[in-house]
Amino acid sequence: IKQTSKDLHEEVSQVRGVVLQKSTCEYWNKIWDFQAKPDDVLISSYPKAGTTWLQEIVDMIQNDGDIEKTRRAPTDIRMPFLERINPPYVGLDKANEMPSPRVLKTHLPVQLLPPSFWKENCKIIYVARNIKDNIVSFFHFQRMNKGLPDPGSWEEYFETFLEGKGLWGSWYDHVKGWWEAKDIYPILYLFYEDIKKHPRREIEKVMEFLGKNLDEKVLDKIVYYTSFNVMKNNPMSNYTLSSLMNQSVSPFMRKGVIGDWKNYFTVAQNERCNEDYREKMDDTTLSFSMEY
Ligand code: A3P
């Protein structure tokens, strides 16, 4: 019998009310006890907010714009994804094996971040994306990623997402939680939409945050090599080397734009989302642009 990609889709469970992959939940105590080091840099985001983009930007900055060095390995090997437990890929082990200085990735909401990151005062770069594009991107990702549960229909997915019952929990809690944390800890909080509109300016922010000083030419080079089309064609950043992703269903580097939600949201869904958004974002100064 031919096995469909759906058969491989993983189950989920919860940690403190947040839906995570079952394998992550089974490893939870070890993840929580993870020992961060003071010179670790953590890239954090809600899934599909532009994590891989930021990872490429950070790596290029740290390698002074050297493409060969940046292309030494696929993204998830260069920067371990802490809570991803898909043997043989065990993010936690990859992180522990890695020599310092390390750059790590997580999608954990702020309340689930292993406390050693706070204790060691690690530099953290958070990237957030407007809710509407974030939902659409995540929906396509769950369709193509065999390690994640099947998303079901777009209508079902949309509701589950707004209710905060999707993977990695509520988008609202995630973006707001990290927004509050930035007033206390060394967190650079970035927006996908800003990087899209002003890549050079935002890349410079990252550079300064990392304490680097690169000249204009190197910055230009980083802007170019981290642009959507270049990353889409780079096997070290487009996840084509990952067997978990069926890119014929939907490519990892899918569209890379602001406002693609307009191609998916019905008028009713847009109204429902706007209303939900107004209510749940009432208690924050955080704001997003949903169109270019
Ligand atoms: P789309 O599905 O909307 O195309 P993550 O890395 O957090 O999983 O996020 C993936 C999303 O970021 C995808 O969004 C992907 O196309 C987009 N992305 C990745 N690199 C990008 C780049 N250089 N420029 C713009 N968008 C990028």
pLDDT in tens, 60-109: 999 999 999 999 999 999 999 999 999 999 999 999 999 999 999 999 99
- Is the ipTM beyond the 0.95 threshold? yes
| Three-state DSSP class for residue 86 | strand
Active site residue 174: no
pTM: 0.97
Q: What is the mean pLDDT of the chain?
A: 96
pLDDT reading at 9 higher than 90: no
Question: Ligand 1: which of 46, 52, 168 to mutate, judged by most atoms within 8 Å of the beta carbon?
Answer: 52
Atom 19 of ligand 1, residue of closest alpha carbon: 53
Atom 26 of ligand 1, residue of closest alpha carbon: 256
Which residues have C-beta atoms less than 6 Å from ligand 1?
A: 45, 47-53, 133, 137, 140, 196, 226-228, 231, 253-256, 260
Q: Is 218 exposed, middle or buried (0-12, 13-18, 19+ CB in 10 A)?
A: middle
| pLDDT tens readout for residues 117-162 | 999 999 999 999 999 999 999 999 999 999 999 999 999 999 999 9
Atom 20 of ligand 1, residue of closest alpha carbon: 53
Contact, 72 vs 87, CB < 8 A?
no
Angle at 20 between CA 19 and CA 24, to 5 degrees: 150
| pLDDT tens readout for residues 206-218 | 999 999 999 999 9
pLDDT reading at 263 higher than 60: yes
- Cα-to-centroid distance, 53 and ligand 1 (Å): 6
- Cα-to-centroid distance, 33 and ligand 1 (Å): 30
pLDDT reading at 226 higher than 70: yes
| pLDDT tens readout for residues 18-72 | 999 999 999 999 999 999 999 999 999 999 999 999 999 999 999 999 999 999 9
- Cα-to-centroid distance, 51 and ligand 1 (Å): 7
In 3-state terms the chain splits into helix, strand, coil percentages (rounded to 5) of 45, 10, 45
* pLDDT band, very low/low/confident/very high, at 3 (cuts 50, 70, 90): very low
Question: Ligand 1: which of 228, 236, 238, 249 to mutate, judged by most atoms within 8 Å of the beta carbon?
Answer: 228
Q: Which helix (H) or strand (E) holds 12?
A: strand 12-15
Atom 8 of ligand 1, residue of closest alpha carbon: 48
* pLDDT band, very low/low/confident/very high, at 7 (cuts 50, 70, 90): low
Q: What is the mean pLDDT of residues 11-16?
A: 96
Which residues lie below 8 Å from residue 46, measured CB to CB, with a gap of 6+?
107, 128, 129, 134, 168, 171, 174, 175
Annotated catalytic residue within 9, 107, 140, 198: 107
Rounded Cα gap, residues 162 and 265, in angstroms: 13
Residue 258 pairs with which residues in a beta bridge? none
